[in-house]
Amino acid sequence: MSLLLAIDTCQGSCSAALVDNGNVLAERVASLARGHAEILMPMIEQTLKDAGRARTDIGRIAVTVGPGSFTGVRIGLAAAHGFSLARHCPLIGLTSFEAVAAQYYFSAGSRPEQGVVTLVAGRQGRFFMQAFAIDSGSPYPLAAFDEPQSATFEECQAYAAERSTPMTGAGLKEEGGVCALPSIRAGFMGRLALLAPSNRWQRPSPLYLRAPDVGAKYSDR
């Protein structure tokens, strides 16, 4: 299987990884609220150097499409599209929810068959959440229970409690039953991308979500 470059710039971090046949060869992660455009390309070059690979080795691209910061989402997508066009290679977009769920699924010590509720921080104390069933025996292990929705943290807690399902999210505090992840890691997202069905490998579009009580001019998610 050809080398996959995975990119994430949606949340408060920037990450790039190279994945080959399900193995993460190299990965770089940096926590930052801004400046993704300046750091991403040097990070990709350093990741290639760490793995002893070249741009010409890249045969697939995976990128997170949001929700996340408006600017961050666009930077990641622009870079992914550029690599895809230059290399004439397939491209896939995964949501931030899928990227978080992938990290939970692949992390040691988790009990994946429980399923998981994934959280992405929104504005004005609200969150976006999406729940996934997890079937490790399926070719693609994640299946969404429902569409993403906006909720308060208390509503997320109640939703997860009703289903006896753990909650997880990137960049959140370890409180209220949340299994907090420091940041989205492109390596986990890239491993999940390689399991995706062929109909997912097409030009991705950004996923922007807004809480119903937040006007567009006040929200970048």
Containing domain of residue 170, as a range?
A: 97-181
- The reply to whether 148 and 133 lie within a common domain is yes
CB 191 within 8 A of CB 22: yes
- The reply to whether 156 and 198 lie within a common domain is no
- The reply to whether 90 and 165 lie within a common domain is no
Residues 6+ apart with CB under 8 A from 11: 68, 69, 72, 96, 120, 170, 171, 183, 184
- The reply to whether 130 and 170 lie within a common domain is yes
Give me the pLDDT at residue 215, please.
Answer: 38
Q: Is residue 174 scored above 80 in pLDDT?
A: no
- The reply to whether 8 and 86 lie within a common domain is yes
Mean pLDDT estimate for the chain: 88
**CATH number for position 146:** 3.30.420.200
**CATH number for position 211:** 3.30.420.40
Q: Is residue 102 scored above 60 in pLDDT?
A: yes
Q: Tell me the pTM.
A: 0.90
- The reply to whether 133 and 84 lie within a common domain is no
Q: Is residue 217 scored above 50 in pLDDT?
A: no
Q: What is the pLDDT of residues 48-66, one digit of tens each?
A: 999 999 999 999 999 999 9
What percent of the chain has a predicted confidence (pLDDT) above 90? 67
Number of domains in the chain: 2
